[in-house]
């Protein structure tokens, strides 16, 4: 019987979910996720042709408040807890690919950890 999720699926999903999985994890998760999804797929057995989906069990709509400014979170306290902050902003490694870095979509090599 074909497994519901293949190794290639697991690698693809790991990229989507921004998880740099190890080889061991990829192997283990391929097995475990297939088992879990097989169980979850039981839902296929039910006829839901005329059934609307439920996103929220207690639907509440159009929750509004007057458009009056209110204080947000205390900025200094927030930034004090940031991994890296500068000039009142969160500081991160480069976001835009200028073509001189290796493919930013390839997260599979933990050896790529670097200091910036």
Partner 1 sequence: MTGTDGLVGRTATELAALVRAAEVSATEVTDAHLARIDAYDGGIRSFLYRADAEARERAAEIDAARSRGEDLGPLAGVPVAVKDVLTTRGLPTTCGSRILEGWRPPYDATVITRLRAAGAVLVGKTNMDEFAMGSSTENSAFFPTANPWDTTRVPGGSSGGSASAVAAGFSPLAIGTDTGGSIRQPAALCGVVGVKPTYGRVSRYGLVAYASSLDQAGGLATTVADAALLLEVIWGHDPADSTSIPTVPEPVRPTLEDGVAGLRVGIITELTETDGIQPEVAAAVEAARAILEEAGAEVDKVSVPSVEYGLSAYYIIAPAEASSNLARYDGVRYGLRRQAADVGTMNALTREAGFGAEVKRRIMIGTYALSAGYYDAYYGQAQRVRTLIINDFARAYEHFDVLLSPTSPTTAFPLGAKVDDPLAMYLSDVCTVPTNLAGAPGISVPAGLDGDGLPLAVQVVAPALHEAVMFRAARALERGFEFTARPRLGAS
8 binds partner 1 (CB under 8 A): no
Among 74, 86, 88, 99, binds partner 1 (CB under 8 A): 74
CA triple 26-18-27, angle to 5 deg: 0
The rounded Cα 71 to chain-centroid distance in angstroms is: 29
Instruction: Yes or no: say if 32 and 25 are a contact pair by the CB < 8 Å rule.
Output: no
Residues forming contacts to partner 1 in the complex (CB under 8 A) are: 5, 9-10, 13-14, 16-22, 25, 29, 32-33, 35-37, 39-46, 48, 51-58, 60, 63, 65, 73-74, 77-78, 81-84, 90, 92-95, 97, 101, 104-105, 107, 110, 112-116
């Amino acid at each position: 019987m074909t497994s519901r999720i293949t190794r290639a699926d697991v690698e693809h999903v790991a990229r989507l979910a921004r998880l740099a999985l190890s080889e061991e994890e990829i192997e283990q998760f391929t097995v475990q996720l297939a088992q879990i999804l097989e169980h979850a797929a039981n839902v296929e057995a039910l006829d839901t042709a005329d059934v609307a989906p439920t996103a929220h069990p207690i639907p509440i709509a159009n929750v509004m408040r007057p458009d009056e400014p209110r204080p947000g979170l205390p900025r200094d306290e927030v930034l004090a807890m940031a991994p890296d902050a500068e000039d009142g902003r969160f500081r991160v490694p480069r976001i835009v690919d200028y073509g001189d870095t290796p493919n930013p979509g390839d997260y599979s090599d933990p050896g790529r950890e670097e200091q910036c």
